[in-house]
Amino acid sequence: MARDFATDILDPVAREIVASVGVWVDREVRPTASEYEHADEFPEALVAGMAGMGLFAIKVPEAYGGLDLGFECYAGVCIELARGWMSLAGVLNTHVLVGYAIDAYGTEEQKARFLPRMVEPDIRAALSITEPDAGSDAQAIRTRAVRDGDDYVVNGQKMWVTNGQRAGVYLVLTKTDPEAEPAHRGISAFLVEPGAEGFSVGRKLEKLGYKGVETTELAFEDARVPAGNLLGGEEGRGFRHVMSALEVGRINVAARGVGVAQAAFDDSIAYAQRRVAFGKPIAQHQAQQIRLAEMATKIRAARLLTFDAARRKDGGERSDLDAGMAKLFATEVCQEVVLEALRLHGGVGYSTELPLERYYRDAPVMVIAEGTSDIQKIVIARALLRDHAI
């Protein structure tokens, strides 16, 4: 029997929850994921199952009806979801990330208005940072918000917005002071609701992988957003708020990398024991044994890095270094492991009949999402220099 990775989770309650999600993934997700994915169909039934298990409420405080569980638990849940189908952990990601930002930085009125509705969830959340000319350099955004009485008037365009078509609240990064130096001091974040005058959701973007979950453009044309929807009620703090929330997103993406890599390894070690070549199962050939050993070792290291980052976030510590390391290592390992799994399977691995080709198409987005690998290295280096200043 395979070693249960939930034993790496220290909190016994979290361990139980993650194990339960794993059972659900094996029963409901793995048998249906490829069908949903090949059709690029939003998995309503699976998302409803996630809601029924309370996963959308996982980080909402109990005072607002949520479960208020730790990030260690959240990381484990995301690993299991991604082991079944990476897109499910993506649906959950921005919802939890935005909920965290509202809880950590929102006004009391904003918390009371949005958090209870995110529990069931009555609404799901989306994060909107990227623009056609601003990706990794978030301070280069051009979307502008100008105060006009009781509202802000917002103009600009956003893209690559996960949950864009189905969100009930969007956390949108804007510039309220384009002349500010440094630029981040002029950036503010708004909670934008569907139906706002001048706000529209654009086309769904076609992707190599990460299917089933919609990724869209947003347009703001003299959109009117109530001043009460300025996150935290103070201009110029949005960049800091969103960067802190992205630590949560990086834990999620690291966990997704671990989950997809684990799925590829599980398929590989089973296949290696069934497939016979040159008179014996290929698992008995030394070359494949070395491949499996390296895959398993790197996955375990990635998993432990991810849980370590999650526990630091749970402890209230600054975790940009830890989340950056986990995200960098886990997603690069995922990319490597999936390719090694393809090599081990040979020609059959290239077939759309097996989920391996889905893993292969899903892996690249994780080295890009929530900050590319190069950006993670910069984040890590800056944190190291800060922590080791002489």
Q: What is the 3-state secondary structure (H, E, C) of 187-250?
A: EEEEEECCCCCCEEEEEECCCCCCCCCCEEEEEEEEEEEEHHHEHHHCCCCHHHHHHHHHHHHH
Residue 370 is among the residues annotated as catalytic for this protein: yes
For the chain, list residues with pLDDT below 70.
1-3
Structure token pair of residue 252: 């999620």
Domain boundary among 72, 88, 118: 118
Q: Helices 86-105 & 356-366, crossing angle to 10 degrees?
A: 30
pLDDT of residue 245: 92
pLDDT of residue 2: 54
Range of the domain at 162: 124-236
Mark whether 303 and 361 lie in a shared domain: yes
Structure token pair of residue 134: 């601003």
Mark whether 64 and 168 lie in a shared domain: no
pLDDT of residue 1: 42
pLDDT of residue 3: 57
* Dist. CA 128–CA 122, nearest whole Å: 20
Q: Which CATH number characterizes residue 208's domain? A: 2.40.110.10
Mark whether 383 and 259 lie in a shared domain: yes
Q: Which CATH number characterizes residue 349's domain? A: 1.20.140.10
Domain boundary among 236, 251, 272: 236
Mark whether 226 and 134 lie in a shared domain: yes
Domain boundary among 102, 118, 134: 118
Which of 37, 80, 340, 370 is the catalytic position?
370
* Dist. CA 65–CA 80, nearest whole Å: 24
pLDDT of residue 137: 86
* Dist. CA 337–CA 296, nearest whole Å: 9
Mark whether 203 and 251 lie in a shared domain: no
**Domains held by the chain: number:** 3
* Dist. CA 72–CA 312, nearest whole Å: 9
Q: Helices 238-274 & 86-105, crossing angle to 10 degrees?
A: 160
Mark whether 109 and 144 lie in a shared domain: no
pLDDT of residue 6: 74
pTM more than 0.75: yes
